[in-house]
Amino acid sequence: MQEVEGVVNGTWDYSKLKGDTGPLVYPAGFVYLFTMLYYLTNYGKNIRLAQYIFCGIYLVTLALVFRIYHKSRKIPPYMLIFICCTSYRVHSIYVLRLFNDPVAMMFLYFAINLFMEDCWMLGSVFYSFAVSIKMNILLVAPALLLAYIATQGMYGTLKQLSICAGLQILLGAPFLISNPVAYILGSFNLGRVFLFEWTVNWRFLSEEVFVHPGFHISLLVLHIGLLAIFAKPWFRYLKSFAKLQPTGVGIVSQLFLLPIFTANLIGVAFSRSLHYQFYVWYFHTLPYLLWSTPYSIWLRLCILGIIEMCWNTFPSTYASSAMLHVCHVLIIYGLFSRRHPTKDLTIGSKKDM
């Protein structure tokens, strides 16, 4: 509220927008969204109303996620109970903390639903708007780019990328006119250093290592390398998706969802730091990813439980951070082991149910 209050008062220079927690570091969509909340909640004073609004955002997100799962038929129905009833941390992020992360994810799930329905232009609009609220949405961009190429061809890909870029320019226009350098560096700062005290995933490192540029570069190299390893099977899935999508068969969406969700998980796994609100970046996709691995049901449930425990440990410990990485590695390895499926990428077997 403090950050957007500057915009309300007529300040469009991003370098001058700040609050008690620091400068404004999110793109323009965040500003417009929270400016709307600023007025709806009596200048940010009616916290209870804001909580009701975020409760509505939570329910819309659940509906969008449930639609994805219903259409793809990948996970057993009882896992929907896990998604909506078992995470104290997720409920806290939505209706107590009121972060922008849940709103960005809601628009991403809108976009994914639209892509599944072959509405690529509108999906690109929703995707770009999600990016304008928080940049973590870019974690799925490598897989989405392959999806554009596989389904739209090169000309269509350029068209979709133009839509995404055009919306960013349109939303950021007032700030770009005022101070373009401050807006670009402030809202899309890929080199920002996070505070060690809030890290969930790297607690077992020393603070000197945590903030060292060499550590950040190493994570980036590993991130890009793993994306490159998965790129070939992803593109094969997505070309099959492009051929089969016109049939209207729901389970075909599995060919699209697995690359998107896996790219997001890889980005989370190699993040320079994860804060508690970042849990919503991949929480709703975890059942899908685990049911795409060859593991037993009990191991899948154990991994989900351990991940939940890690995110609920405050402050994070050496053990909770290490176990979170172990779970991420197990999921990625399970997905890697099935990167050349023949009949695996179909409706779960009765055994899985």
Does 350 fall in a domain?
no
Q: Which of 104-118, 239-253, 303-317, 318-332 has the lowest mean pLDDT?
A: 239-253
- Distance from C-alpha of 128 to C-alpha of 111, rounded to nearest angstrom: 9
> What's residue 352's pLDDT?
53
What pLDDT sits at residue 97?
Answer: 87
* Separation between Cα atoms, residue 183 and residue 334, nearest integer Å: 41
The reply to whether 353 falls in a domain is no
Whole-angstrom distance, CA of residue 168 vs CA of residue 162: 10
Compute the Cα dihedral for 155, 250, 230, 194 and give only its sign. Answer: positive
Average pLDDT of 137-143?
A: 98
* 347 assigned to some structural domain: no
Residue 193: inside a domain, yes or no? yes
Is 214 part of any domain? yes
| Owner of token pair 């005022």 | 178
Residue 306 is assigned to a structural domain of this protein: yes
Digit-coded pLDDT (tens) for 277-322: 999 999 999 999 999 999 999 999 999 999 999 999 999 999 999 9
pLDDT band at 102 (very low <50, low <70, confident <90, very high): very high
**pLDDT for position 341:** 58
Q: How many domains does the chain have?
A: 1
Close Cβ partners of 69 (under 8 Å, ≥ 6 residues apart): 75, 79, 80, 287, 288
Predicted pLDDT at 345 = 46
Q: Would residue 351 count as lying in a domain?
A: no
What are the distances in angstroms from CA 88 to CA 46, 103, 228, 323?
24, 18, 35, 19
- The string of pLDDT tens digits covering residues 213-231 is 999 999 999 999 999 999 9
- Structural domain including 26 reads 2-338
Nearest to 33 by CA among 15, 54, 19, 16: 54
